[in-house]
Chain A
Amino acid sequence: EAQVTQNPRYLITVTGKKLTVTCSQNMNHEYMSWYRQDPGLGLRQIYYSMNVEVTDKGDVPEGYKVSRKEKRNFPLILESPSPNQTSLYFCASSLRNSAYNEQFFGPGTRLTVL
């Protein structure tokens, strides 16, 4: 089944404890992106990648890192999480090297930082 998977789906952690949220797609998509979703603010783009080893900042990159060593994986790294990073996170992928046309979204990761 063609899909975007994220792990974990739910995570409660404490301030300062490094964590990684994994994202994987099995559709051979070029473009991948991370978003966070907060009540009243909609979705905001954190980082995106148009291809392997190519990443760039979205609108809210502070406090996050990403890597794109393989086409299928795009992990989101929080080196030192803080409570303001408590949010619902979505990974998405798109066939071409941009978000043009359809992006496929993962199921989301609910992160709580205490």
Chain B
Amino acid sequence: GESVGLHLPTLSVQEGDNSIINCAYSNSASDYFIWYKQESGKGPQFIIDIRSNMDKRQGQRVTVLLNKTVKHLSLQIAATQPGDSAVYFCAGLSGGYQKVTFGTGTKLQVIP
């Protein structure tokens, strides 16, 4: 696969534990945020989104938290599984949701 995981901060988690991936955003104009998962050799895949008027949103095994005061997003993955191993990106949308700004990504390694 493609070596997009190089030069990225890495989070190593034991299988079954919870994972927390953080993202700081700088664009104050962003009013909608998305977390993407990218597996080796593939394009990013949508996980969960959150609007700026919310501070928490839950999906299946995933929760996104938004703190607008400090411009911080986090993605929590419950009971992390080997299939969760990937690079995770946050993205902020602005300009009528036309412009997309991605964070630099975090590599999640799940230890069996």
A interface residue numbers (CB < 8 A to B):
4, 31, 33, 35, 37, 39-45, 48, 50, 56, 58-59, 88, 90, 92, 98-103, 105-108, 110
Contact = CB atoms under 8 A, between A and B. Distances in A.
B4 A88 contact: yes
Given A4-B43, A35-B102, 17 more contacts: A33-B100, A39-B6, A40-B6, A40-B7, A41-B104, A43-B44, A44-B102, A88-B4, A92-B43, A98-B96, A99-B93, A100-B97, A101-B46, A103-B100, A105-B43, A105-B44, A106-B43
Contacts of B96: 98
Q: Which DSSP category, helix, strand, loop or mixed, fits chain A's interface? A: strand
A106 B105 CA distance: 19
Q: Which DSSP category, helix, strand, loop or mixed, fits chain B's interface? A: loop
Nearest to A33: B100
B53 interface: no
B43 A56 contact: no
A42 B49 contact: no
Interface in B56-112: 89, 91, 93, 96-105
Contact of A88 (B2, B8, B32, B101): B2
Interface residues of B, number: 28
Contact of B103 (A35, A42, A99, A107): A42
A33 B97 CA distance: 12
A31 B99 CA distance: 11
B105 to A, nearest CB: 5
A45 B45 contact: no
Nearest to B94: A99
3 shortest interchain CB distances as A-B pairs? A105-B43, A98-B97, A40-B7
A42 B9 CA distance: 12
Contacts of A100: 32, 93, 97
